[in-house]
Amino acid sequence: MIIHLYGPDSYRRKMKLRELLADYFKKYPAADFLDVDFIEDQEAWEKARDFLSQPSMFTPSKVLVAREGTCSDKASKKSADGAEGEERDVKGAAAWRKQWAGVLKKYAEEPKIFVFLSDSGKPLKAFDFLLKKPVRSSTFDELAGEGLRRFVAAESEAHAISFSPEALRFFLGFLESAPDASWNAVNEIEKLSLMDLPQPIAAKSIEPVIEWSSKTAVFEGARAIMWARNRTDRMKLLEKLFLQKEAAAYVFNSLGFMARGGDAVRLADYDASVKSGGLDYEEALLDFVLR
């Protein structure tokens, strides 16, 4: 079985993937599992192919999560510099795409094999079959207009805050000024929910809090922390964000949205601890970057 989630709205796509995986592991807690990213790992498709083809020793069921494997050429290996090398790269990309598409077609109707595809764009031509049955395909476009308004209303209610009409207009304008509207909405609503603001929140209360340029800096800083290779570099990056007076909850959520594998599990544990009163966000961040 293949479940294909694609589109530029990274937050809603990630939440849907998390929901589907949680439901699956309730039914099959001992299933074999592999998570690969085609952008970060140039051998991702081979790892995915081998994982799917190898028999399981203790369970007949397998789960594969494959990210950015059907919408981008960036996973192809670089063979050489210059025009000749670029030509070989193009041919190489076409070759691995054809083989990867063949692997996916083989497992499209396997009842005990679950392949979750998460991609930021529509599939390339070689993967057009993912848009048809038996594949379960869902798209996640960027939110705007009434769709974004409804999303903000639902998230605000979940965080027990409300906006005045003027504040809501300001907030929606802020969200529509850049990509990742839903991701930014959740970050900012989380930040506002931690403040002791009169309800409904007035525009004059949020204008000093929401800096139109800061979201990019936080996102880039969080991404740098995730990619840093040692503890010292991670600490320097976190200290820089603290000195910029970025909200710790905002930084924490930014890390959480881009974390994968073991990092995602650790951050989920920290989040549970924060919400139960065990740690605050600053302590959780420090512990995360030091480990």
The domain that holds 65 is classified in CATH as 3.40.50.300
- 60 vs 102: CA distance, rounded Å: 22
Same domain, 171 and 269: no
Q: pLDDT above 70 covers what percent of the chain?
A: 89
pLDDT of residue 143: 92
Residues 219 and 176 in one domain: no
| pLDDT of 275 | 79
Question: Mean pLDDT across the stretch 100-111?
Answer: 93
d(CA 125, CA 168): 41
Percent of the chain with pLDDT over 90: 41
Judgement on whether residues 132 and 103 belong to the same structural domain of the protein: yes
Is 106 in the same domain as 197?
Answer: no
Shared domain check, 282 and 202: no
Q: What's residue 244's pLDDT?
A: 72
- Alpha-carbon dihedral sign for residues 176, 178, 181, 186: negative
Domain's final residue, options 122, 139, 156: 139
* Final residue before a domain boundary, out of 206, 224, 241: 206
Per-residue pLDDT of 226-257, as tens digits, reads 888 788 888 888 888 887 777 787 788 778 77
In the listed set 162, 181, 206, which residue is the last one of a domain according to the structure?
Answer: 206
Backbone CA torsion sign across 119, 120, 126, 129: positive
Residues 220 and 135 in one domain: no
The boundaries of the domain holding residue 58 are 2-139
Q: What rounded mean pLDDT belongs to the chain?
A: 84
Looking at the fold, whether 274 and 191 belong to one and the same domain comes out as no
Cα torsion angle, 195, 200, 204, 207, sign: positive
Residues 108 and 150 in one domain: no
User: Does residue 149 sit in the same domain as residue 135?
Assistant: no
Please tell me the distance from the alpha carbon of residue 198 to that of residue 129, in angstroms, as a whole number: 52
Q: How many domains does the chain divide into?
A: 3
* Contacts by residues 169-173 (CB-CB < 8 Å, ≥ 24 positions apart): 169/203, 170/203, 170/206, 170/207, 170/210, 171/206, 171/210, 172/148
pLDDT score at 88: 39
Whether 124 and 195 map to the same domain: the answer is no
pLDDT score, position 82: 39
Q: Which of 7-11, 215-219, 229-233, 273-277 has the highest mean pLDDT?
A: 7-11
Asked if residue 83 and residue 186 are part of one domain, the reply reads: no
Q: How does residue 83 score in pLDDT terms, banded at 50, 70 and 90?
A: very low
pLDDT value for 89 = 47
pLDDT of residue 214: 53
Tokens standing for residue 16: 């849907």
**Do 58 and 83 have their domain in common?**
yes
User: Where do we find the tokens 């692997």?
Assistant: 103
Q: Are 144 and 182 in contact (CB under 8 A)?
A: no
